[in-house]
């Protein structure tokens, strides 16, 4: 397996550059690793890649997911019922990397990473084929040690910007971030909503004043229409709870994989650029 420093370009950077060249906004699905099983997660990752996903957020199961709504909390519980660990998820990525080249971002809370050890985590994740990390409950001001380990392994550190973030804080986050900025379109926890926030464009414009990094929008995105609306403003669309809900409803079945595939394909089609 190649060392992290053997990479020519981080897959996140390369993918956004490619998408920018063709005028496409990235589809970034989120799923919880191990929900309902690691074997099914492997199938779903392949299905999402085949359905047109551009990047993938892979959630690390955690017992106290404070930023997640009920749908994602239940997914974490299902994965933890099978004792899925961070080491298991790293091994899963190494397995799917044999034939899936989507950029993969670990979406995690700090505790599993801290327990694993920053340098060991960065080394093992990069060797398996992870491209970036988003730690939901780590403030940028306290992230220097982890960020140093990730930089050394050529992993991108992605940060959240919220609607309540002040211009000064946006500037500070932008200075530390790499890969892309994840804009949380609503305050509160993850979950599906009926409509996109009216002030989305205003907040994205503020972030663009402080960074040239791509901006992806998540939290509350649940339909192809939402994806199309966000595509006019942002560089990426993160869809989580709407996919995780389908996984929970379908359970450990081929029908679940088919349903997730169909939904992901509808989102990908909604993000296709207009013909020149």
Active site residues: 57, 68
Q: Which helix (H) or strand (E) holds 230?
A: helix 224-231
Bridge-based pairing state of the strands 236-239 and 215-218: parallel
Q: Which helix (H) or strand (E) holds 72?
A: helix 70-80
Q: Which helix (H) or strand (E) holds 238?
A: strand 236-239
CA dihedral angle for residue 49, residue 52, residue 53, residue 54, rounded to 10 degrees: 100
Residues belonging to the chain: 276
Residues 30 and 46: their CA atoms lie apart, in Å, by 13
What is the full DSSP assignment across 144-162?
Answer: HHHHHHHHHTT-EEEEEE-
With b meaning 16 or more CB within 10 Å and e meaning fewer, what string describes 194-229? eebbeebeebbebbbebbebbbbbbbbbbbbebbbb
For 178-190, give the secondary structure using H, E and C.
Answer: CCCEEEECCCCCC
State CA 61 to chain mean position distance. 14
Helix (H, G, I), strand (E, B) or coil at 160: strand
């Amino acid at each position: 397996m190649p060392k992290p420093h053997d990479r020519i370009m981080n897959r996140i950077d390369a993918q956004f550059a490619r998408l920018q060249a063709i005028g496409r906004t990235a589809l970034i699905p989120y799923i919880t690793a191990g929900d309902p099983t690691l074997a099914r997660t492997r199938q779903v990752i392949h299905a999402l890649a085949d359905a047109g996903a551009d990047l993938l957020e892979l959630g690390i199961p955690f017992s106290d997911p404070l930023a997640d709504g009920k749908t994602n909390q239940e997914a974490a519980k299902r994965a933890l019922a099978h004792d899925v660990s961070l080491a298991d998820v790293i091994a899963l990525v190494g397995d799917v990397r044999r034939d899936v080249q989507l950029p993969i971002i670990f979406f995690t809370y700090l505790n599993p990473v801290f327990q694993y050890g920053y340098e060991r985590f960065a080394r093992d994740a990069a060797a398996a084929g992870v491209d970036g990390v988003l730690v939901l409950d780590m403030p940028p001001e306290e992230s220097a040690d982890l960020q140093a380990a990730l930089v050394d392994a050529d992993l991108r550190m992605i940060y959240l910007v919220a609607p309540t973030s002040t211009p000064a804080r946006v500037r500070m986050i932008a200075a530390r971030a790499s890969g892309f900025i994840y804009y949380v379109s609503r305050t509160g926890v993850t979950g599906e909503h009926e409509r996109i926030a009216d002030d989305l464009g205003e907040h994205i414009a503020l972030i663009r004043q402080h960074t040239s990094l791509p901006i992806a929008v998540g939290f509350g995105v649940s339909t192809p229409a939402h994806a199309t609306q966000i595509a006019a403003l942002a560089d990426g669309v993160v869809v989580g709870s709407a996919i995780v809900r389908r996984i929970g409803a379908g359970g450990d079945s081929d029908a679940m994989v088919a349903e997730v595939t169909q939904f992901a394909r509808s989102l990908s089609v909604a993000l296709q650029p207009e013909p020149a």
